[in-house]
Structure formats: C-alpha cells, structure tokens
Structure 1
Amino acid sequence: MLRELAADLVDLILDWGYLGVFVLMTIESSFIPFPSEIVLIPAGYLASKGEMHIGMIMLSALGGSMIGAFINYYLALLLGRKILSKYGKYFFIKENALQKMDDYFEKHGHISTFIGRLLPGIRQLISIPAGLARMNLAVFSIYTALGASLWAFILVMLGYTIGENQELLDAYLKQITFVVVVILVLLALWYIRYQKNKKGV
C-alpha cells in the first residue's frame, strides 16, 4: 500500500512540480499530519533523474513547511488561547498553567521548536504549544526553518541517492531517524546542563 502511495505521489509531484511539493508539505506541516518522507523522498528520486532541481525542491518544501507551521501557530494563538482561558478550568487547566507555558517558551522555545521539528510525530505539533504560549514569532520562524530545512534535506538526499530501492530506503530511514533522535537527546542534555551552569554562575 505504501509503495502504491509513493508511486502515486511521484506521479502527482511530476504533474504538479514544485507546487505539488509546496502544497503537500503545507498539509503535512499543519492540520492533516502525514509522513513527510512520502513527499520528499520521491521528489529527491525525481531530482536524481534530472526531472527536478534539489534547490527548488528545498525551497518548495521549506515554504510549505513554514506555511503549515504558521497555520497551526496562529490557530493556537487566536483560537486555542481563548478556548483554554475560557474553558480550561473544566479540564483542570488553570490560568497559571498558561503563564508557566508562556514563561517556558520565552526561555526555551528556540531549542524546543528546533528539536520538535526533527522528531517523528511531534514535528507537525510543536507549532501548537508555541502558538498557545505566544512565542516570539521571529524566534519561532528561525528555529522552525532550521529544523524543517535539516529534515527536508535529509529526506531529499535519501531519495536522490537511493531512489526506488524500497528495502534500502526503509533500512536507511530507520537508521537516520535513530541517529537524529540520539543526537537530539544529547543536544537536549547539553542544553539542560548549560542552563544549570548558567544559573550557577
């Protein structure tokens, strides 16, 4: 089924070109999350055949990811905040919990956003707490772009170098995801240690 979906996406991207990558990554990054690898790996494969350009794929993917992230951010900021403020008490969410979230994202929003954009299952959702916490938009944009660009580059290059070999794709994607998660855990531990040392000075 996944192989058929990938084949259909290759055809769709081939028909729509960079607009297809942009639209699919906008959807992937916002309200209908699905694995970005089923968009960017086929796009990378098309680049290896000379039918697309890696630079344009990256721009389209980044543009779509940012639009999708902004959709979630502003929905959470404009609607979610009001809903939680008004009805949060019925779900045992107190007003001071929102203040704590605000304080957390003001201090640690940059690292949380960057790490979140690289974690499977979380990358699409990290924009929601950032919006709820009214995270600084410029900081949110920079670290969302950094995380989204890095992940997109990994997937595009995976498709470019391995192409249609599904077994190799599955194996390498699992290995890459594992390595990324380990690196992010180490980054998070370093950041926690850095913050403790900073407080101790």
Structure 2
Amino acid sequence: MEQFTEVFLEFINSWGYFAVSFLMALENACIPIPSELILGFGGYLIFIGKMSFSGALFWGMVGGLVGSLFAYYVGKYGGRPFVDQYGKYFLMKKSHVDSAQHWFDTYGISAVFFSRMLPVIRTFISLPAGFAGVNLYKFVFYTILGSLPWTALILYIGMALGENWQVLRTIGHEVSIVFIILMVIVVGILYFRRKQKR
C-alpha cells in the first residue's frame, strides 16, 4: 500500500470527509491502509482549516463502523475457510487473521474493544467476531467504544503536529502501545476507587 500513499493523500485532500470515511471503511474491512495515514493527514487538514475536528471524527467513525460490519458479515457468512481461500486477493495475510483470532479466543467479545487500539489486530478483529457469530448489537457497541478514542487521538495528534504530521507514520505503533498502557492504568484506577467506595 506504500506505493499508493500519494494517491490516498490526494484523494483525502480533494474529497475531504467522504475520502476519510471511505478509506477508514476499507481499512476496517481488512484492506491494509494505515489509519495513521488517513487520520494523521485528516488531522493536518484540520490544522490548516480544511476540515473540522468534529466532522473528521464523525465521518471517520462512520466509515470505520461500516467497514467493521462488512468484515463481521464476511466472517459470519463466509467463515474461516472462505477467508483463508480468498483473503489473499484482498491483501489479507493469514498470520494477521491468526493473530486476531488468538486475541478473540483469549478475551472474547472484549477483544473487539481493546484491539481497536492495537496495530494490525484492529484491522482484522471483526473477522473472528463474525466467525463466532457474536451478538451484533454488542459487536457494534464495542466497536464504537474502542474506535472512538483511537480515532480522536490520531486526529488530534495529526492536528497538533501540523506540518510534521507524517511523523505519525513512523511512530504509529508506539502510540498504540502507550495508549493501551494509559487505558489500562485508567481502568485500574477506576476499578480500585470503585472497590474502595464499596
């Protein structure tokens, strides 16, 4: 996908919110287009006044949800054999699907939430959720809950970096790790505070 970077950037620059939504849908439908590229450049466009933060966030979330639902239904109705046989035509790596499957097997439906902030896994986690036929409403809820902070964070960082937004393309994985650590700390603090009140 690296060779198409300039095409993607020109698409976003020309088509704005629609392009952000469309490319986020592709990414979440297991087409390996980095969200750091889409949302990072979206943040830059917010920085120069071509987009609003709320608009980019909304359409990025809409696209992400549509793509996730597509992958979920592919997993539900096609199953793992279908994905293994035809996934290569859509640039899906079996190892990436295996990693997402491992996360889902280990953590169940909650993996749909946490994996939205992890490199690679966030793109493919909808497939094993579909394989397992998890409740659709729970899937949508955890997808939105997990995607919202990540989408907002990358847009904000792209906006804050301004002209240097492309730094995100090299530190995207590190941002994911730091974000997960912060989320675990926050959840832990809230849990212990709640326990102390009881």
> Smaller-chain TM-score range?
0.7 to 0.9
Post-superposition shift, 1:153? Answer: 0.6
Q: Measured at CA, do residues 109 and 19 of structure 1 come closer, stay the same or move farther in structure 2, by a change above 3 Å?
A: same
Kept after mapping to 2: 8 A contact 1:109/1:135: no
Kept after mapping to 2: 8 A contact 1:10/1:42: yes
1:37 corresponding residue in structure 2: 36
Post-superposition shift, 1:13? Answer: 1.0
2:133 corresponding residue in structure 1: 134
Give the whole-Å Cα distance in 1 for the aligned partners of 2:163 and 2:8.
13
**2:5 paired with 1:23:** no
Give the letter aligned to residue 11 of structure 1: E
1:90 corresponding residue in structure 2: none
Kept after mapping to 1: 8 A contact 2:41/2:166: no
Give the letter aligned to residue 179 of structure 2: V
Alignment length (residue pairs): 171
| Larger helix proportion of the pair | 2
Post-superposition shift, 1:164? Answer: 2.4
3-state SS, counterpart of residue 31 of structure 1: coil
Post-superposition shift, 1:170? Answer: 5.5
**2:36 paired with 1:48:** no
Deviation digits for residues 89-140 of structure 1, max 9, x if unmatched?
xxxxxxxxxxxx9xx88xx544211011111010011111111111111111
TM-score by structure 2 length?
Answer: 0.73
Of 40-49 and 170-179, deviating more is 170-179
3-state SS, counterpart of residue 135 of structure 1: coil
Give the whole-Å Cα distance in 1 for the aligned partners of 2:7 and 2:77.
36
Post-superposition shift, 1:8? Answer: 4.3
1:194 corresponding residue in structure 2: none
1:96 corresponding residue in structure 2: none
Post-superposition shift, 1:149? Answer: 1.3
Deviation digits for residues 38-89 of structure 1, max 9, x if unmatched?
10010111111111111111111111111110011001111117869xxxxx
Give the letter aligned to residue 151 of structure 2: A
Identity fraction in percent: 32
3-state SS, counterpart of residue 50 of structure 1: coil
Give the whole-Å Cα distance in 2 for the aligned partners of 1:79 and 1:171.
35
Which segments of 5 or more consecutive residues in structure 1 lack a partner in the other structure? 85-100, 191-201
TM-score by structure 1 length?
Answer: 0.72
Alignment of 1:73-92 (within 5 A): 73-80=72-79
Name the larger-Rg structure. Answer: 1
3-state SS, counterpart of residue 34 of structure 1: coil
- Give me the CA root mean square deviation: 3.3
Give the whole-Å Cα distance in 2 for the aligned partners of 1:133 and 1:78.
10
Q: Measured at CA, do residues 173 and 72 of structure 1 come closer, stay the same or move farther in structure 2, by a change above 3 Å?
A: closer
